[in-house]
Structure 1
């Protein structure tokens, strides 16, 4: 380890030199030279030492050993520390972390406001420096301007910028709208109606406040703080409430909720995926969600910083803040304040009022950064990649193995292995030859599969001393002035995989004379002529360079030139980066020190000139890289998008990029970078995905199973399950690590097949969500709190997520688990959830964590009540899936309603000639389907599944009754309708339930209720044992032809041959009869040793709770007592005998119990008298109710019971009696105006 030896030598050099200088040298200059020499040796040794700590793997990313030390994130996830990154903090490479750094709030005086002028949409004002200059981290700007614009009712623009900027004043840089568009005032907005208020603090000290008008809450305020604005530094502080909830501010690996004790650096860096460090993208936007509850004394909403009680009722409001600035930024989240710091540009803020997170995200995209690109349908399939495939034959082997394992494969990818000497747009002809590639691509394209190659961001610079070293892409780029330059006008030359490289000048292409976009389009077009790729993967776009500064400018072609190309191995990249690192530059007088700015942000690599193009590099037109560094990744995606539009004008480009900026989503998708095969990174992938939903990237995914380190089977299985529900679904890993394709391990293969079956059936749902994201700014992946904004216990929820509004994913994120805890939001306030696999309704309470079974091959998935989801039969490719039969899942809400939509088009065209939008709605037991559009889909509708159905009488399709082809699964309340025999025109169908009778639950002190049916004029019913799959007696509509013999006259009932029965399906036409139509009873009394029914008319005493009635023969228990009269004394509740009496047109059956009248807390009975069917109930000591339902015409006058006309009651719930009417009667669905014979 020579670097360690050098470090030890350097460490010893300083004290030795000091000793020699003091002891032997009499020459003062010589002593100083010795001391300076020792310092230089020590510093150089240290830099080399820390550069080893920052060695990087594929794409220059850190792949070294990770220490076993861990820290706990705010959401409780244990994460490994990158010790190399953390070691550097000891030398205070970050100003924010240096306790001795100057506090600008103490040193500076702030600004005075004057000349305030109101405008139609806001105001303008002058800001002038108060008192003397402080010049803490640059030179103060004396004169500023304030511009305030109400751009829409829910959007406010506040900008602070230098008042005078001329061509000769280049001390600061204002972000041009050509690079990043600037939101404007809405065309139809007159400025009058405003949800956001802007107020200037009284007095001449400048401070401002932004408030929500409807509630009066302060959203953003600088009161009590000072504005600092210098040529290389600004600081603005916003006061925050206690325990605030912020989300966003990326790109960083962190828990979804940010907390209030971290520093968020926004500076694009090639850094792998370290925790809590800046990485690839730049997104200075956040959501702020605040919870309130009602003050019982005043009735007003008050802020609830610790809201978490499920028994409380809360309401939340969310607003958003975006800073349009491309300079290096740092946002410090601290107790009750947020500190905004930057190294240049303007304070260009945009505020969004919400009031929900979904509103803020939608407004941010539609008004500010642009709507995301619509993706091709095939991009939603599964993608397989790795660094280390050696040729086309390797790719063919993967395709074959995936097919053999019956695991869907949509797209195969190629990493840098395919390149000739790691040069863009050239293949290694030995194993990646063009002819063989044409054959391979022809085969997979015929099978409906696709190919995507990687393209790096740097271009190889040939050795001018070698006449055979010719690279046409470089030569054409030089002719087009396509590359960045040094300050002296020479080409800026860094170092990446091919060796010495140049870097495309995207900024110069947008603003000045550079022809970079045209050159890039030409190079991609030339490559497409050889390889018919289907999309492009852009990498290394921060932009990455393995040395500091223009390390090849003076040595290209000389004796110090690096090898022709790096070996593609991490060790070589690390060695070259170490050897080429330059010493610190010294700033010129009266100019910005851009390579070493006075304020040092908390950059993952330390100084902002390390591991990237130097800040002093120049773009065409004179713009410095310092001012636009964060835009390189954004503009290469812009260029690639337009290049692919040129190559295939009618097709939507498919691009996945690494470095992104606000608005990059309108060009490309994003993957989470070079993560690690560790459980912590599996967990953090959810936070990454949700953050990029805020940033406007619906097409997001991660490297399933991890990129760095060796994956383990169980972890890989869990990762394949989780990633199956991200829009971009790809498995990818690092060279020289074990293979992790999903077929490698049996357990991963099975987990993948199961998860992909669900994903591929949901492709129409995913595609519809993607279109809604593109069309109106909706999100695809959603935090639970976004859909359920008034449940504050969801504020930290980042271990579950939603796909759209309807699908809830609860993945296993820890090793060795066979179950997982999940919360079902909305429970207790009207939301119902159903298990995707079993179709059963979830039983839980508000805010409760439910333990779900989750063996290693299974990921829990649930569908939300109130939604209709269109599915297709899954295939091995998306093309095959698009040919599959349709299915609808109708998940009913608590009030038996549901809705949904489906978007269909050709799946690839930018401009659609024909589209189809289908809207689904369920109300009053009928499903209606409303198609709009001319696109023709010829696939048949195979099945409709309705969840949460009460037992029904039949199914009608377009008014025609279906006598077969449907099944009601009574134990879970699911209805399946086979649609294969019906045409597409029959798509509308109706469910027409009559009366459903069901014994629900168990009476606490009695066995499950036995039951009698009197079947005269009852055409359809089914009876079965609870928990059984098949009924014992089945006379439902689908089984009607088999029939059940009607009992002979005089035996007017069908005895149920067991206890614990329940009615699964009963159709009861309600017409006037002179005899009872239906007589259910509960807990029928029986005395051991006596014949059944003995003494029933004389009120047999009810047996005690321990009495076993499981074997009672119920036949003959009910004996009509003709002409029975109601006994008022028994109903008075004064301790009379107390019968349950069911009356129907003069015939009555009288059932015990003994003792207790109506309303008696110790048990009793209710009597409903009148025309029609009646109710039988009983209440035990615990308030638990048993009984069934009846119909009342409004004539009932039972004491304590309100029975309006058309009353339908359902009883039999544990614990219901305490909440229902007297006697435990529940008047569900009462309709006072219903005529006799109508069920409501």
Structure 2
């Protein structure tokens, strides 16, 4: 378990000090900065643990066409924890928009004390550092203002701003130098990219927009101005993170040797996270923005949806089709088809009538299955519509020109709830509760919340069309393009210009709270639009992709990016949303999609149907891949607990587990689930083999337990990939808790557990298992009912092997009834030809064999696999299992 923020903070400042450094900026660069504008430092002060400075505009400023420069700026820098540095630059004389504290709570700088610190002065620089922090902040005071952030242990410069700082009312610009040869950057979303690692000479525009995810390199549904930097070279694997906490539109230009922020409002509010490992960075990042919300156990089953289901009989036919094909189906979904004229919180009285729909959902629940429907934020302007009437009575809608803004979406003309208004969350929760009295849905899918608008509002002023046009939609379209006006006004006088990127976050928060209040259970919310910290409330899918092989491949990049953003429950529409899929593409997509954290088949109206049972080859792939997913559910759910407590992504790039292997930095056609399950899918048509990279160590096939790779260095291997097969391997050193699969998670959870013990080269392995009821709002915690069991394994000098369990915590009653029935050891040394194998459970001999086969023990000679069956070891009780050679 990761130490708490408070514990880290206490540790951070036992011996804090200020250090002094003198760093001169080259004269040529200073002269260039004078021509381009920039600021001079006119005063520096320290109060407690905060270094502050006042900056004054030097010369005539820059980019005059973008408006006048702010004359005086204030800077504050503070080491908020031992691993987090906060640097904030804003107008010294006027208050500006910032992301509100109630959206992302932040400790004020004075919360952390540096009482034992001292300060030294220099005409050229001031340095903020602490003995227990690896981050050092240097304020360069001459000849022009700039700052650097460096790593104290190595001297490596992490962030190095140029003197060319531009700060206007509607345009901020700051550039940092990067060591182009040794820095690998990831993040800065949401975009569909050809590669996971950011490519130089690319621009990342952040302005939430309803643009199909099948479009490359455009601003999409979410804004996450955060990146992870992994360095190669002498300190290979040293990683840090950088967040610009700003909700305004922006372009971020990445040139390989530099990164330039061009922001159209707000303040420059930077957070730096020390790492040093990639997992450390995400842990530190989610300490600030909030840990990912726990997802209910059932949400890790397989989901089926389509925009275009015609009626209730269509839904019933799909459920029956999956059952007949013996393909797991956990959750049935319905897109906007279920609504009466596309109005939220209504049912089509002809095609989806209330009574029969209620009975349908009851049958799903009786079978251990769930039901989820979509909601869009636009409320139809209709005097006979109860939701509209109540919204008007409570005055909860977004304003424009002193009246409610009138937009247009699926139901026609609509008003949009203003979720910055506290009354809007109350209104929204009441409507959800009323709807659930009619139809007890198990989760909610919130879409079109960028906000999407089918009309382009007029451009009235420089709020709607500011002097600097970000690269919106790839062609520098106005901010108002297919959304609400930037000049619209939220509760408290907040402009849409500033809060636009927050809308999906705010709706997700309101929906999450509404479901908790109404059900008392752990909510499941799926949102298209997201912002920094959305993972506290919602899962995410990658939006409107297309049924192409490229979209199949790119889905891995987006999934891995959202793991960095603190939204680990993520997946793409399996078999593609738009366009017509093919049998081969759909077969390969379920082989990949079975291992997305969020696994859902979804398609668009007007396209061919693509339920997994419609083609027998796809059905075979689904049974095989989903069969393994359901066997791995205990492991996957344990990853959810890890994500909730440390922020660790569930689906991870290879360098998260192998940061010193620089060959992993560009791998984005494979990924890890957790630290040691490697998925290597087919991503090309006609392929029956996969070129896969395996980092150093042992790798075992999870379908047949064969040893695929054993290497002291990373190596590429060509793997056979028959039409119905995906390659999934486990790294030596891991213990995987598994269960016999079933067609629903509720049935699977009743089955006995198996442990797969994959021994590393050193003969050791470890793993853990988290258990709870899968639906309580709290996952773990002081008051929850849960169990956490850790497993370790080691080998003895004679080749014997021992696995032990350690019950870390157990307040979950069923853990005494759930048992481990089988343990499979992979990578064992072959016993002597005449040796006797024996099994000892808690020191008592349970079975033996001179042939390698017995009721309780099987051994695959030459394969290093031993399988102990017939066990009944309670999860909640510690045990020791030993396989010895006598």
Q: TM-score, normalised by structure 2?
A: 0.89
- 1:120 is displaced (CA, Å) by 2.8
Deviations 1:590-632 (A, max 9, x none): xxx1111110001116111110001011112221110110000
| 1:905 and 2:833 correspond | no
Q: Select the residue among 339, 349, 352 that pairs with 2:260.
A: 339
Out of 883, 890, 904, the residue aligned to residue 757 of structure 2 is 890
The verdict on how the C-alpha distance between 1:186 and 1:930 changes in structure 2, with shifts beyond 3 A counting, is farther
Q: How far has the Cα of 1:443 moved from its partner?
A: 0.7
Residue 955 of structure 1 deviates from its aligned partner by 1.9
The residue matched to 2:221 in structure 1 has which SS?
Answer: strand
> Whose Rg is larger?
1
Aligned to 2:386: 472
| Corresponding position of 2:842 | 958
- 1:980 CA displacement: 4.0
Residue 682 of structure 2 is matched in structure 1 by 812
Tell me the SS of whatever aligns to 2:232.
strand
TM-superposed deviation, 1:114: 1.8
Cα drift, residue 316 of structure 1: 2.2
The separation in 2 between residues aligned to 1:854 and 1:990, in whole angstroms, is: 36
1:939, CA displacement in angstroms? 3.0
CA contact (8 A) 1:525 1:647 kept: yes
The whole-number CA distance in structure 2 between the counterparts of 1:887 and 1:851 is 30
Aligned to 2:703: 837
Q: Is the aligned partner of 1:119 residue 2:32? A: no
Kept in 2: contact 1:637–1:664 (CA 8 A): yes
Q: Secondary structure at the match of 1:279?
A: coil
Contact 2:657 2:676 in 1 (8 A): no
Tell me the matched-pair count. Answer: 809
Among candidates 647, 671, 680, match of residue 550 of structure 2:
680
- Structure 2 Cα separation of the partners of residues 127 and 106 of structure 1: 14
Give me the whole-angstrom Cα distance separating, in 2, the residues matched to 1:437 and 1:703. Answer: 25
Higher strand share: 2
Task: Give the alignment's Cα RMSD to 1 decimal.
Answer: 1.7
Equivalent residues of 2:579, 2:607 under 8 A apart: yes
Residue pair 2:639, 2:650 contacting (<8 A) in 1 also:
yes
Report the counterpart of residue 865 of structure 2 in structure 1: 974
Distance 1:843 1:617 in 2: 59
Partner of 1:253: 192
Q: C-alpha deviations, 1:90-145, integer Å up to 9, x for none?
A: xxxxxxxxxxxxxx979631111121012332300001111224433122111110
Q: Does 1:547 align with 2:414?
A: no
Matched, 1:266 2:206: yes
User: Greater relative contact order: 1 or 2 (C-alpha under 8 angstroms, separation 6 or more)?
Assistant: 2
Deviation at 1:396, TM superposition (A): 0.6
Match of 2:412 in 1: 499
Cα distance change of structure 1 residues 793 and 192 upon mapping to structure 2, 3 Å threshold: closer
Matches within 5 A, 1:596-635: 596-604=465-473, 606-635=477-506
- Aligned partner of 1:360 among 281, 284, 292: 281
Contact 2:49 2:113 in 1 (8 A): no
Alpha-carbon contact 1:951-1:968 (below 8 Å) kept: no
Q: Which runs of 5+ in 1 are unaligned?
A: 1-103, 167-171, 294-300, 302-314, 463-468, 510-514, 550-581, 588-592, 995-1066, 1068-1240
**Structure 1 equivalent of residue 123 of structure 2:** none
Give the match for residue 226 of structure 1. 164
Write the distance in 2 (CA, Å) between the matches of 1:335 and 1:540: 34
Structure 1 pair 115/985, CA: closer, same or farther in 2 (3 Å)?
closer
Decide whether the 8 Å contact of 2:306 with 2:333 is kept in 1: yes
Question: Quick check: 2:446–2:525 contact (8 Å CA) kept in 1?
Answer: yes
CA distance in 2, matches of 1:756, 1:696: 25
**Which whole-Å CA distance do the structure 2 matches of 1:185 and 1:865 have between them?**
44
Aligned partners of 2:672 and 2:313: how far apart in 1?
A: 39
1:247–1:288 Cα contact (<8 Å) kept: yes
Paired residues of 2:656 and 2:675 also in contact (CA < 8 A): no
- Report the counterpart of residue 208 of structure 1 in structure 2: 147
Q: How does 1:1074-1153 map to 2 (within 5 A)?
A: none
Task: Supply the distance in 1 between the matched residues of 2:755 and 2:390 (Cα, whole angstroms).
Answer: 55
Contact 1:197-1:210 within 8 A present in 2 as well: yes
Contact 1:844 1:850 in 2 (8 A): no
Which residue does the alignment assign to 2:69? 140
Match of 1:350 in 2: 271
Q: d(CA) in 2 for partners of 1:933 and 1:987?
A: 11
CA distance in 2, matches of 1:693, 1:745: 32
3-state SS, counterpart of residue 220 of structure 2: strand
Q: Report the Cα distance in structure 2 between the residues aligned to 1:186 and 1:394, rounded to whole angstroms.
A: 60
For residues 433 and 325 of structure 1, the distance between their equivalents in structure 2, rounded to whole angstroms, comes to 45
Q: C-alpha distance in 1, partners of 2:725/2:229?
A: 35
Q: Is the 8 A contact 2:651 2:671 kept in 1?
A: yes
| Structure 2 equivalent of residue 531 of structure 1 | 439
2: CA distance, partners of 1:159 / 1:185: 10
Instruction: Note if contact 1:383-1:409 (Cα within 8 Å) is conserved in structure 2.
Output: yes
Aligned partner of 1:217 in structure 2 is 156
Instruction: Quickly say closer, same or farther: Cα 1:670–1:383, change in 2 above 3 A.
Output: same
| Alpha-carbon distance change, 981 to 693 in structure 1, aligned in 2, over 3 angstroms | closer
How many angstroms apart in 2 are the aligned matches of 1:699 and 1:149?
Answer: 33
Aligned-pair distance for 1:734? 0.2
SS in 1 for 2:403: coil
Q: Give me the whole-angstrom Cα distance separating, in 2, the residues matched to 1:795 and 1:986.
A: 41
Whether contact under 8 Å (1:373, 1:667) holds in the other structure is: yes
Indicate yes or no: 2:603 matched with 1:733. yes
SS of the aligned residue for 1:842 comes to: strand
Q: Report if aligned partners of 2:699, 2:710 keep a CA contact under 8 Å in 1.
A: no
- The whole-number CA distance in structure 2 between the counterparts of 1:618 and 1:991 is 68
Counterpart of 2:787 in structure 1 is 916
The separation in 1 between residues aligned to 2:642 and 2:102, in whole angstroms, is 27
* Distance of 2:634 and 2:877 partners within structure 1: 21
